[in-house]
Amino acid sequence: MAVVALLRGAAAGRRSPAWHWRLSGTASYCLARGSGLLGSNPADAVAWTCFRLDGRALVRVRGPDAAPFLLGLSTNELPLSGPPTGAAQPSARAAYAHFLNVQGRTLYDVILYGLPECTEGAPNFLLECDSSVLGALQKHLSMYKIRRKVTVEPRPELHVWAVLPCVPQTSETAPLEERLEGTTMLIRDPRTARMGWRLLTQDDGLALVPRGQLGDLQDYHKYRYQQGIPEGVCDLPPGMALPLESNLVFMNGVSFTKGCYIGQELTARTHHTGVIRKRLFPVKLEGPLPASGISPGAVVTVTATGQAAGKFRAGQGHVGLALLRSETIKGPLHIKTSESQLVTVTAVVPDWWPTAAK
């Protein structure tokens, strides 16, 4: 079965084929401002759509013990950047990871950015997180800091932008290159090439992207839901979501060869048994939706048998994410709304997910 092959065939860590960037293979689409539609217009001069993500915040972690401190808390290896050498621009890298509780459930999903070392030669990182849990993340970090030489400080002056391509990547496309200049960082999204680039800056992000246009934030969320990318506490409820059910392996967010970290035992045991019965799938919704949308936690039912297939997690309009038992995704499925209306649910397997055949 293709689904079984997918669930068991994903390679872990950065050696996975999903880790390598294949921007030339990125789908041809354009997120037009306010349209919510995916289309292609080769004659359009616009090459990139930029979304300012005010729902994301940044925390800086620096100090002599910053690297081992973060390694003991995160599911992934750290994106290390060497000190500047001569006139060469220092390279910056990013990595996706989760911070877990002691039971092995996700507390916070983060993107870690490796910065050049501080003037005193100490490691230096930025952590991107859901802005609604910024204080909780700082408290979490402080709780485990103990006597380590680490400084944790928010960076409210910096803003996070997502930059997605509007046209197929060709020789005529306005190119983007990784850059780190002053308070600006432009880097490829570490989760999948389908999510384009991440831009961190205190300036106007749109002005920094050649041939860029400002995008509607709803279009960004619809797009990432279509790609099966969870982001933030609505998609990954703290203390509830399990990292492997949330496709952490597919998004290059876990290393099974690194040292110990909090919550590692359950994650490693699940990985090595090779059995993940439930998974967070992108879903399409058809039918009359309540004015407030589908409620998080709404039961998804197998239409033919009436058995529960899983639960709706979060969404935007007629797309979203649902935690479903893998053997049920071929449907048909439905959700019964609070108004007793039936909404048809169609689960989708994104084509960028790794399979045994890839």
Selection from 277, 279, 272, 273 nearest residue 251 by Cα: 279
Cα pseudo-dihedral 38, 43, 46, 49, rounded to 10: 10
Tokens 């400080």 identify what position?
153
The pLDDT of residue 91: 52
Angle at 229 between CA 295 and CA 353, to 5 degrees: 125
Q: What is the reported pTM? A: 0.84
The residues of the chain scoring below 70 in pLDDT are 1-44, 81-92, 119-120, 167-174, 356-358
CATH of domain 45-81+90-276: 3.30.1360.120
Q: What is the percent of the chain where pLDDT is above 70?
A: 80
Fold of the domain spanning 277-353: Elongation Factor Tu (Ef-tu); domain 3 (2.40.30)
Continuous H helices in the chain:
2-9, 66-71, 134-145, 217-226, 264-273
The whole-angstrom separation of Cα 275 and Cα 295 is 29
Tokens 């209306």 identify what position?
341
Check whether the bond before 296 is cis (ω within 30° of 0). no
The whole-angstrom separation of Cα 10 and Cα 301 is 27
The pLDDT of residue 108: 98
Asked if 281 and 230 touch (Cβ cutoff 8 Å), the reply is no
Positive or negative torsion for Cα 175, 49, 203, 111: negative
Residues of the chain with CATH 2.40.30: 277-353
Asked if 345 and 300 touch (Cβ cutoff 8 Å), the reply is yes
The whole-angstrom separation of Cα 110 and Cα 59 is 10
Residues of the chain with CATH 3.30.1360.120: 45-81+90-276
